[in-house]
Amino acid sequence: MPDQPAAKKSLGQHWLDDPASLEAMCDAAEVQAGDTVLEIGPGLGSLTKHLTARAGQVIAVEFDEKLARQLPARVRADNLQIITQDILRFDFTTMPANYKIVANIPYYLTSHLIRVASETPNPPAIAVLLVQQEVARRVTAKPGSMSLLSVTAQFYWQTSLGREVPAVLFTPPPKVNSQILVLKRHPEPLFGDVDTKAFFRLVKAGFAQRRKTLLNSLAGGLHLNRDEVLAICRAAGIEPARRAQTLSLDDWHSLYRA
């Protein structure tokens, strides 16, 4: 067995070796024998061992070349394939349909990964991510506390929270607690009549200046005059004095159609 390397701060590495938390991730993803699971950043292989014991195949994508080389000695499993690559450059279309993602990911990667996994032509059926607790709660937020991240995630996924994982269970401990974030792909697109790029251009304009009303943020972000925005809001049945974080996905859809 290779020596345990020091975690690299630059890569956001924090090792988790708590069996209950790792099993909770596998349970949340409903990992079973017929599944192909994509693990991101397997690190020392603690989660990988649980995944290979339950899944049909595990494809582990590791950015750290040394850890990738050492992983076969840490996890001896015939159903494990290791790819040394940055996950943000990974081609998700190489995965079989209805694969699953299960991963303890660096905090800095969360929003990028959610966007990439959401927008790929071959998204996973389910993604279970262990992330910073605050970010997990932002992703699953309700109207009143919405953000661009929560609108993006909930546009593509049914979002929910799983087990909380205290910082003390990691080596080295991060400064904050983590939580399991569960993303289940909508069986059908949430809105069938939406051009995704145009929809998110609208949403990004709304969130570009969070402290401003929709009237001001949409006028500035979409380069419209105030009368045009007032007409759009009126047609959508949305009060122009509201702020972006108070809107539901249905509200955004109404604005988009207007």
Task: Give residue limits of the domains in the chain.
Answer: 9-185, 196-257
Whole-angstrom Cα distance, residue 181 to residue 159? 7
Whole-angstrom Cα distance, residue 103 to residue 107? 12
Give the dihedral sign, CA 157/158/161/165. Answer: negative
Alpha helices in 109-223 (DSSP H): 110-119, 133-139, 148-156, 196-207, 214-222
- The residue among 207, 216, 212, 219 whose CA lies nearest residue 252 is 207
pLDDT tens per residue, the chain (258 residues)? Answer: 555 555 444 444 577 989 999 999 999 999 999 999 999 999 999 999 999 999 999 999 999 999 999 999 999 999 999 999 999 999 999 999 999 999 998 878 889 999 999 999 999 999 999 999 999 999 999 999 999 999 999 999 999 999 999 999 998 888 999 999 999 999 999 998 999 999 999 999 999 987 899 999 999 999 999 999 999 999 999 999 999 999 999 999 999 999
Q: State the CATH class of domain 9-185.
A: alpha beta
Q: Are 147 and 245 contacting, i.e. CB atoms less than 8 angstroms apart?
A: yes
Whole-angstrom Cα distance, residue 173 to residue 9? 11
Tokens of 180: 């399991």
| pTM higher than the cut 0.75 | yes
Tell me the sheet residues that pair with 62.
Answer: 84
Residues 6+ apart with CB under 8 A from 113: 40, 87, 88, 105, 129
CATH number belonging to domain 196-257: 1.10.8.100
Give residue for tokens 């207007």: 258
